[in-house]
Structure 1
Amino acid sequence: MRNENYVKKWATILFLSILTGIVGGLGAVIFREMISFTRLLFFDILLPHISIYYHGYNLGYILLPAIGGLIVAPLIKSHPELKGNGIPEVIEAVIFKRGEIKGKLAVLKVVATSITIGSGGSVGREGPIGFIGASLASALAQTFKLSPELKKLLTTCGLAAGIAGTFNTPFAGAMFALEVVYMGIFSINLVPIFLSAVVANTVTLLFLGDAFEVNIPLQIAHNHSELLFLFLMGLLFGVLAAYWAKFLFWLIDRFEAIKTPLWTKLFVGGLSVGFIGMFFPRYGILGVGYEAMELAIAGLLPLTTLILLGIGKMMATSLTISSGHSGGIFAPSLYIGALLGAAYGTVLKLFFPAIEINPAVYALAGMAAFFSGITQAPINQILMVAELTRGYALLPGVITSATTSFLTARFILKGSSVYTLKLERRGLHVKTGHPVILETIRSAYP
């Protein structure tokens, strides 16, 4: 009887994990179509009517994110949990709320974030897609009246489904969910989480043909003599990632301290982002930014432009998120790492002409290093680069830069990440690297 119950239990879990993958994949497809639609409305229809040119710059770009902020202000005011990327809310739900997320938040997140990104807000769609997948999975678990443990597991499956469906990297998507939510517990829970990730990725590919828009060259390699350069880049990017996370929350505090209505903060934040984006309208400062990542990896951007874009994206994303907009940190982190990594590689190429340095190597390794430092999820990025390049030639360098950045940022942030810092500000103490089951549950969540 015990074996029979065990089989029934896991048959149910695997069935629901497949269903979660389908729902998460469809959610990702719908969300991406919504972003494309809102971007069409703002950039193709609205922008020509508000365009004013001054010394070759279109001042109309300044207004687009600000208008988007005004539109989403009522929604975010009534549902403050829509602010930011949504991953901290998933972590909170799994650790502190028995895996329960309100199902309607998935729909609201689609609307709020698609308007933010479509109007030019400098944020990513990946975190919100992960949140949408987790919300839909949580609603599914609540519908079937599953136990708290299974609700947590299925919610994590939804997060993995969303991330996997975005990048065409099911292995890395599953590992992201495990690293940021389960924080060290790799057990039999791997099975349904990986299953959801694979199914969601398949669903996304069926509808969109390709999940990740950046064209990654497949034949990229580095010399082992470059490992020292990649190690030093890991140190540099770990420091940069940690202090950017600190700056982001410092800026959030500054906005929250301003005693004005939410819509004014969203409007001012949008104006600031639009002003920065006006100088680089075709390089991804406004919106997700994959177009500039592809140019950087292909070696088509000069050194000065790479540095300006990397810094500009940091400022634009900080202003978008800190002013209260809805959007993710995932894609901007990849953008910053890729652009500044390519700049680092370009500098090395100038100083060490005898070594055949390919800046694309440093763009991809920088992408992994910066993201690993700020999110404290290095395995996800190591696997993602392997899946995106469809090979393992870059793994030694990527492992070197990602783990070095991870450890450096971990030391500076004292075990926190950009995700857990948000929870710590609410009094929910979660440290990366500590298994979920060892976390202390705050009394507010009995």
Structure 2
Amino acid sequence: MALPKTSWQLCLLAILGGAVSALLVIVFTLSIDLLQQFYLTKLGDYTSLSGISRLLLPIIGVCAILLFAWLTGYHYLRAGIPFVLHRLKVSYGIIPFKNTLNQFVGGVIALSTGFSLGKEGPAVHLGAACCGYLGSKLHLPFNSIRTLAACGVAAGIAACFNTPVAAVIFVMEVILREYKVHMFIPVMLAAIVGSMITQSFFGPSHGLEFFSNVSLGPEHYLPLILLGALLGCLASAFNHQLVLIIKHFQRWHIVTRLLIAAVITGTLGYFAPYAMGIDSSAISFSLANQDQLSVLFLLLLAKFLMTIFAIGLGVPGGIVGPILGIGAIAGTCGALMIMNVLPGEYAASDFALMGMAGFMAATLNAPLAALLAVVELSNQVELIVPAMLSIASSCLVAGQFFRNRSVFLMQLDVLKLSYRKPPIESSLQKIGVTGAMKTEFDLLENPPPEAIARVLTSAKNKALIIKKPRQTGCEYYFAEFNTPNQGPPAETVVKHKMTPLSSQETLAEAYQALGEQRCGAVYIYHRTEDNILGYITFEQIRRYLLEGKLRS
């Protein structure tokens, strides 16, 4: 499991971790439904509340979130997909328990009290945390824990939307940002398990199957390209305004920020109740009022502002759900505007689906994930080609004219959270030390110099590790002959002090320990530093970087 190869052990753990992650996401979803039953006549329908109730509900929700965050520590309130991306880079997907606790409780409260947020952010966090915890408790190599955390993400998304294929592509395109077979197979298995479990609880529905079958032909391709261009502009405005809000308010205390988000959400919800909550109510309203451009435009503006302030000010929740809602409303508005420019018949529901695909693709910079998400959610393969046109034009306009990037990466940049590693370190992180270490060595305890030379001469294929007891513990040294490049062939014994590395570490940590002196070796231990399993030399790492070979 330490090597970048497909292993049945990791696949088995992916199935187990995916099942637990999916069950956790189902408990999260049921908790939201249970809480909403106390004050809503229908789940997600905030129109049943009075205007004053809609104004006060988000404020009450934020007070509950802040109370729980105060008990655990405000700095543990950070959660969601950007935080998971950060933890995957800096700690191989191992997430602090208190962050996960705040994500669960805060997410349930926020999604129950009308904030324009999605379930996928908490689902990603909960899945990654669950599988990362499993891997760390089993003392797996860190590179395997990273893959296992990605499996939890896939299971969480599949359990949230019942879209296993889109979940796999989302993980590869957005979370890991690389396609490797040894990662793809366990991630795929976890997504399948997540989807199977959610189907057993909620049935086979995908959530958007109420859309009628698409009726888009070649005569609609030009309008779809124009729609994509509009969506690209809107997505760029969404991302950049979100970043501006984060940048402006990030020095404010979390209490102030969340209260501002609650007041904005409550005020907008007072006038536009369909903009509150997750995407389903906004989509249903836009389809029911597809001929009223002014009403839809106001709904779009309210949903847009609610989402960027909720996400930008730190309310725990996801962004993909609101993105789908904004895309559907924007697609319907686009259809009405294009009707006035180009002749022809346009079905607003078809353009709503295209709006969802194009806006999601441009916002997340994930065209393939957006395409498959909309196809699976609507259960309509026929929209692939039209959706590709909308996605291609929206991504092209957003990237080329507005320099738009993934909203998650833009958030990480403005928050100054690391998500990149140097190419050398990224390459070495994929291999655990136990997969590259040498296990043949002689261990001598405080030997005299002549004994060191004698053992090195007799054991040509083995390394010599010297143990020197100290009052505070033991120190280990790696001994080797040093033959000068010039002059008489005289060999001298050189001893390099060895740095201990846990068996969970990767070659990246070994390189960091040896990179400055560019010689010597590290020793690998299990549980205790005196339980030596093997060693890795700098020459091995250098050879791998130059030739792709692990063992010399």
Please classify the TM superposition score into its range, dividing by the shorter chain length: 0.7 to 0.9
Q: Are the equivalent residues in 2 in contact too, given 1:117–1:327 (CA < 8 A)?
A: yes
Answer yes or no: is 1:403 the counterpart of 2:396. no
Q: Which moved more, 1:420-429 or 1:302-311?
A: 420-429
Q: For 1:345 and 1:378, locate their aligned partners in 2 and report how far apart those are by CA, in whole Å.
A: 21
Deviation at residue 292 of structure 1 after TM alignment: 2.4
Q: Are the equivalent residues in 2 in contact too, given 1:266–1:323 (CA < 8 A)?
A: yes
Deviation at residue 270 of structure 1 after TM alignment: 0.5
- Partner of residue 31, structure 1: 28
Q: Are the equivalent residues in 2 in contact too, given 1:103–1:138 (CA < 8 A)?
A: no
Deviation at residue 143 of structure 1 after TM alignment: 1.5
Q: Are the equivalent residues in 2 in contact too, given 1:170–1:197 (CA < 8 A)?
A: yes
Q: For 2:104 and 2:389, locate their aligned partners in 1 and report how far apart those are by CA, in whole Å.
A: 36
Q: Are the equivalent residues in 2 in contact too, given 1:138–1:154 (CA < 8 A)?
A: yes
Once the two structures are superposed, the pairs formed by residues 424-435 of structure 1 within 5 Å of their partners are 424-428=413-417, 430=419
Q: Are the equivalent residues in 1 in contact too, given 2:120–2:321 (CA < 8 A)?
A: yes
Identity of aligned residues (%): 28
Q: For 1:163 and 1:436, locate their aligned partners in 2 and report how far apart those are by CA, in whole Å.
A: 29
- Aligned match for 1:345, one of 335, 339, 342: 335
- Partner of residue 48, structure 1: none
Q: For 1:191 and 1:324, locate their aligned partners in 2 and report how far apart those are by CA, in whole Å.
A: 34
Deviation at residue 437 of structure 1 after TM alignment: 3.8
Answer yes or no: is 1:336 the counterpart of 2:331. no
* Highest RCO, 1 vs 2 (Cα 8 Å, sep ≥ 6): 1
- Partner of residue 60, structure 2: 67
Which secondary structure does the structure 2 equivalent of 1:59 belong to? helix
- Partner of residue 368, structure 1: 357
Q: For 1:411 and 1:184, locate their aligned partners in 2 and report how far apart those are by CA, in whole Å.
A: 23
- Partner of residue 130, structure 1: 124
Answer yes or no: is 1:99 the counterpart of 2:131. no
Deviation at residue 214 of structure 1 after TM alignment: 3.4
Gap runs ≥5 in structure 2: 43-47, 431-507, 513-552
- Structure 1 residues 247 and 440, CA, compared in 2 at 3 Å: closer, same or farther? farther
Note the alpha carbon deviations across 1:204-229, whole angstroms, 9 max, x for none: 11112256433433521301122122
Deviation at residue 266 of structure 1 after TM alignment: 1.8
Answer yes or no: is 1:288 the counterpart of 2:283. no
Q: Are the equivalent residues in 2 in contact too, given 1:183–1:436 (CA < 8 A)?
A: no
- Structure 1 residues 130 and 15, CA, compared in 2 at 3 Å: closer, same or farther? same
Deviation at residue 160 of structure 1 after TM alignment: 0.9
Gap runs ≥5 in structure 1: 46-50
- Structure 1 residues 58 and 436, CA, compared in 2 at 3 Å: closer, same or farther? farther
- Partner of residue 388, structure 1: 377
Which secondary structure does the structure 2 equivalent of 1:38 belong to? helix
- Structure 1 residues 17 and 80, CA, compared in 2 at 3 Å: closer, same or farther? same
Answer yes or no: is 1:80 the counterpart of 2:75. yes
Which secondary structure does the structure 1 equivalent of 2:115 belong to? coil
Answer yes or no: is 1:163 the counterpart of 2:152. no
Q: Which moved more, 1:264-273 or 1:188-197?
A: 264-273
Note the alpha carbon deviations across 1:340-376, whole angstroms, 9 max, x for none: 10111123335445x2321212111110111111111
- Structure 1 residues 177 and 232, CA, compared in 2 at 3 Å: closer, same or farther? same
Deviation at residue 16 of structure 1 after TM alignment: 0.8
- Larger Cα Rg: Structure 1 or Structure 2? 2
Once the two structures are superposed, the pairs formed by residues 23-422 of structure 1 within 5 Å of their partners are 23-43=20-40, 58-76=51-69, 78-83=73-78, 86-210=80-204, 212-217=206-211, 219-258=213-252, 261-281=253-273, 283=274, 285-297=275-287, 302-353=292-343, 355-411=344-400, 414=403, 416-422=405-411
More strand by share: 2
Q: Are the equivalent residues in 1 in contact too, given 2:209–2:378 (CA < 8 A)?
A: no
Deviation at residue 267 of structure 1 after TM alignment: 2.1
Q: For 2:183 and 2:311, locate their aligned partners in 1 and report how far apart those are by CA, in whole Å.
A: 33
Deviation at residue 192 of structure 1 after TM alignment: 0.8
More helix by share: 1
Q: For 2:428 and 2:280, locate their aligned partners in 1 and report how far apart those are by CA, in whole Å.
A: 36
- Structure 1 residues 100 and 379, CA, compared in 2 at 3 Å: closer, same or farther? same
- Partner of residue 21, structure 1: 18
Q: Are the equivalent residues in 2 in contact too, given 1:161–1:196 (CA < 8 A)?
A: yes
Q: Which moved more, 1:147-156 or 1:20-29?
A: 20-29
Note the alpha carbon deviations across 1:46-103, whole angstroms, 9 max, x for none: xxxxx99xxxx6222111101111111144452435346x111221122221221124
Deviation at residue 108 of structure 1 after TM alignment: 2.6
Q: For 1:129 and 1:273, locate their aligned partners in 2 and report how far apart those are by CA, in whole Å.
A: 23
Deviation at residue 124 of structure 1 after TM alignment: 1.0
Note the alpha carbon deviations across 1:14-33, whole angstroms, 9 max, x for none: 11111122112111111111
TM-score, normalising length: structure 2? 0.70
- Structure 1 residues 33 and 358, CA, compared in 2 at 3 Å: closer, same or farther? same
- Structure 1 residues 219 and 38, CA, compared in 2 at 3 Å: closer, same or farther? same
Deviation at residue 332 of structure 1 after TM alignment: 0.6
Which secondary structure does the structure 2 equivalent of 1:155 belong to? helix
Q: Are the equivalent residues in 1 in contact too, given 2:94–2:136 (CA < 8 A)?
A: yes
